Structure 1
């Protein structure tokens, strides 16, 4: 299997919002479809915290991507019409420069010497990548979850570079509940003795902390409705339980979370997780509106926008998406607001492909 991942070298030094800079940094990205002669048919997708740039299969890498059913000929992101780009966030260990990368000044991994990361840095790195591809203005900027916050920063910091916007299950600022959950996730990692102040390696890895962090995430990515529907109070079969383990797993939902955590563990760098998680908590559109989120949103100029939210999302509640829609509308954009009742909660955009395809495909067909 080939590697479809490509790399864009960032300006050196790449200066960070909160101080500090990176030398020789890069961003990983993948593309689908063909950029037209006018270079005006590009769509950029900014991801949630953990996905790579591999959003869909392509000729170099035929393995399914994280948004596989959405991207391709005749799909919602129609590659017969659009040139689709997905960028791996700066700070993520899926190919972009991150805390696990080698610091050229020392020859050692950055670990916690990596500069403080903000979603504005993620946005600026993504914009440099798009500019490096010779694209002055995106046909559409798409942001999912954390990527939706990065997309708001992108449009605000780089006016006139985005024609239309699709906001997916995101927020203009983190609410206390989301901050509390992410704080617990970070604490679980930091309190694992194997984290060792960020100095772990393949032999000594904070698996326990990462496992708890992932379980907390999965619990909040789905809704109570779905947990009830899928698992109720079904207990594990006798051969699936370890009766010698004090307080061991007894219910199917516990086993499901454990399996999720095992799949995630060692698939994501713990320090990168800490940096991106904190960047999500720090992001606040109110910073750009003299303390007022709506005024911050009104500084964003796009012609049209689609804002999608889910009524069962507890991490990025529907009212936060309503705020984005109202703010962009007040700034002069024609906004379509879609509130879905998908039972899957925050993860609906990865699962309820039928409804998201209909909304996104319909919007893109009209631009």
Structure 2
């Protein structure tokens, strides 16, 4: 249940403590029949500010930015100042806890968010700011519920997954399966995440960061990037199950939305060095959505540009939030 908001605080300041809650309901899924889902969420920010749904990659969750009530840094902590002008609502993705082992479409996430809004008594939100997987979910929400959304900010997502990117993810899922078959699912997840890190960044960044000569360790040769990739994989495997990795990775590849169904103000952001979601795919999507704005973000960091290019992303978010309709 939602944490109760103190009336005297609202009357004096128009603000409320950040709160977390969960709602359980039956969800009719596109590929998996009807399932009981428990959706966990967090709300933070001024009560009278425009309501903004925020979603990130498959490793992002309900905790976007820190607050007095939840002081740990959120997954988009560098954007705290930009997001301060909005009332932020975010969820833990269905399947992220590993307890939901079946095909999950991004559209299922969008329907779940709409159901959560019903439970919270929110008829309409001012905006949806999504990046990577969150942008895919935002596109589906815009297509399914145009009457419930004021505007969309979509960062690093096309109308569908690129076939080459899907091929890369299929190999990551095979690494997970090999780990499970060998009795060490965490090792499979760690290897899959390390492989994924190669797709999130760029060859130019690796040239800058990992140009040291290989070393001989016993009778093995190690290259400069291995320690970094191993650490990233192990850290992710410590908080993500094999089922969660497999199902959310699959969900990215199930993404497919008809641009003609997105009929509301939309801004599409592409990172110039992102080969996971190429510029031309996002540009084509923006061209197909009537009146959409296209923004190209220069970056060394590829698909992770929305996390690494803090100043550029803050400017984009600030401009987007400034256009949102006030809370009603």
Specify if TM > 0.5: yes
Correspondence for 1:273 among 245, 251, 272: 245
In structure 2, the partner of 1:257 is: 229
Q: CA RMSD in A?
A: 1.9
Q: Is the 8 A contact 1:20 1:116 kept in 2?
A: no
- Structure-1 residue corresponding to 2:20: 6
Q: Could you say which residue in structure 1 is the equivalent of 2:122?
A: 135
TM-score, normalized by length of structure 2? 0.88
Worse-superposed segment, 355-364 or 311-320: 355-364
d(CA) in 1 for partners of 2:186, 2:243: 13
Q: How much does 1:5 deviate?
A: 6.8
Once the two structures are superposed, what CA deviation does each residue of 1:251-300 show, in whole Å capped at 9, x if it has no partner?
A: 22111111111211221111011011111111112xxxxxxxxxx21221
Alignment of 1:1-367 (within 5 A): 6-11=20-25, 13-23=26-36, 25-36=37-48, 41-71=50-80, 75-77=81-83, 79=84, 81-93=85-97, 99-100=98-99, 114-192=101-179, 195-196=180-181, 205-235=184-214, 243-244=217-218, 246-249=219-222, 251-285=223-257, 296-302=258-264, 304-329=265-290, 333=291, 335-367=292-324
Distance 2:22 2:87 in 1: 17
Structure 1 contact 47–87 (Cα < 8 Å) conserved: no
Query: Structure 2: how far apart are the matches of 1:247 and 1:327?
Result: 51
Please tell me whether the aligned partners of residues 47 and 88 of structure 1 are also in contact (alpha carbons under 8 angstroms): no
CA contact (8 A) 1:231 1:252 kept: yes
CA contact (8 A) 2:146 2:262 kept: yes
Deviations 1:71-126 (A, max 9, x none): 2xxx222x2x3211111111111xxxxx42xxxxxxxxx6xxx3421111111111
Task: Report how many aligned residue pairs link the two structures.
Answer: 307
* Aligned counterparts of 2:249 and 2:19: Cα–Cα separation in 1: 24
* 1:303-340 deviations in Å (ceiling 9; x for gaps): x22211111001111112112211222xxx4x321101
Deviation at 1:159, TM superposition (A): 2.4
Indicate if the aligned counterparts of 1:298 and 1:328 stay in contact, CA closer than 8 A.
yes
Shift of 1:131: 2.6
Q: SS of the residue aligned with 1:298?
A: helix
C-alpha deviation, 1:61, in angstroms: 1.6
**Which residue of the partner structure matches residue 107 of structure 1?**
none
Instruction: Quickly say closer, same or farther: Cα 1:276–1:42, change in 2 above 3 A.
Output: same
Greater CA drift, 27-36 or 155-164: 27-36
Deviation track 1:124-143 (CA, whole Å, cap 9, x = no partner) reads 11121223222211111111
Change (3 A) 1:45 1:15: same
Structure 2 residue ranges without an equivalent (≥5): 1-17
